[in-house]
Amino acid sequence: MRRLVSESSLRPQQLVLPMFVAEGAAEPQPIASMPGVVQHSRDSLRKAAVEAVTAGVGGLMLFGVPTDKDAVGSGATDPDGVLNRAIADLAAEVGDATVVMADLCLDEFTDHGHCGVLGGDGSVDNDATLKRYAEMAVCQASAGVHMVGPSGMMDGQVAAIRSALDVAGFVDVAILAYSAKYASAFFGPFREAVGSSLQGDRRTYQQDPANRREALREVRLDIAEGADLVMVKPALGYLDVLSDVAAMSEVPVAAYNVSGEYSMVEAAAANGWIDRRAAVLEALTSIRRAGADVVLTYWATEAAGWLT
Ligand code: PBG
């Protein structure tokens, strides 16, 4: 009877698996703060992608970990760079069976670790960054990406990327906009996962955790600029924001169950303080109940296995 009247569903196809791939890695490298998650080699990435798709996961979100970084994040627009090669690998391997997505941001590629390029005064230059994002979008599309995920929170990024893609003929490449992304301490383990060089924080471009209404403005702007999906991130501390966004958005809504949310459950479970499987499924179901159509989670493959 509970199943009959259940108000929310959690299905494998609603889950997206974020994946890390490290340049030049011969073997997958464990990430200490995210037990069970690795920086993949090209080879292990392909295998893990097949495993995820076989489990029914609806999409894969790729993050590259380059060996060399510079001020403008050149590796992001190098067709032989780690992320673009990984996109091509996955497009070939599982491109007909799932949605291949890539993070579209400079932070993994810049030596200062910021999501954009810096101006003379050391602060992030929004409009100069848009030009880099436009180039990056075209590179990723040339590599075969289906959907790009701009996560840098620059003003006007969705419009700049949409127009660059269209001009280059990639009219079918979709945009999953990180619209309401907060300056969150829960991204902590991710910074280790991508070997981030960031000193300081991203408070000049990511949202203040105190703000709820502001998220709706960010979402409205992104939809007007051409976002195909909008995202709220992190998920669990922001279910109120997610619920607001789901109520007003005309496009599908995603939520990112981020690294810190993952690691907290894993740490508690490793200590025997929490029922791991029950906690994971409850967290993911809560994100769906709050209104997410799509959930990005490091548990995607495992949870998909439990759900089928
Ligand atoms: C930026 C980006 C971040 C995450 C995804 N994309 C980190 C940040 O903004 O500092 C965080 C993901 C997570 O914590 O799981 N490219």
> Which domain CATH number covers 160?
3.20.20.70
Q: Is residue 52 part of a domain?
A: yes
CA 77 – CA 95 distance, rounded (Å): 21
**Coil, strand or helix: which one is 120?**
coil
Looking at ligand 1, which residue's alpha carbon is closest to its atom 14? Answer: 187
Gap from CA of 121 to ligand 1 centroid (Å) = 24
Average model confidence (pLDDT) across the chain: 97
Q: Is residue 283 part of a domain?
A: no
Containing structural domain, residue 28: 12-230+298-307
Dihedral over alpha carbons 159, 116, 243, 254 (to 10 degrees): 70
pTM metric for this prediction: 0.97
Q: Is residue 244 part of a domain?
A: no
Gap from CA of 44 to ligand 1 centroid (Å) = 22
Q: Is residue 272 part of a domain?
A: no
Q: Is residue 111 part of a domain?
A: yes
Nearest-atom number in ligand 1 for the CA of 258 is: 15
Condensed to tens digits (0 to 9), the pLDDT of residues 223-244 reads 999 999 999 999 999 999 999 9
Q: Is residue 217 part of a domain?
A: yes
| Total Cβ atoms within 10 A of residue 6 | 10
In this prediction, residue 199 carries a pLDDT of 85
| Total Cβ atoms within 10 A of residue 36 | 13
Give residue for tokens 């300081």: 200
Burial class (CB in 10 A: 0-12, 13-18, 19+), 250: exposed
Taking each helix axis from N to C terminus, what angle separates 82-94 and 42-55, rounded to the nearest 10 degrees?
A: 40
Q: Is residue 262 part of a domain?
A: no
Q: Is residue 248 part of a domain?
A: no
Condensed to tens digits (0 to 9), the pLDDT of residues 39-95 reads 999 999 999 999 999 999 999 999 999 999 999 999 999 999 999 999 999 999 999
Residue 181 catalytic? yes
The preferred substitution site among 101, 194, 258 for testing ligand 1, maximizing ligand atoms within 8 Å of CB, is 258
Q: Please state the domain count of the chain.
A: 1
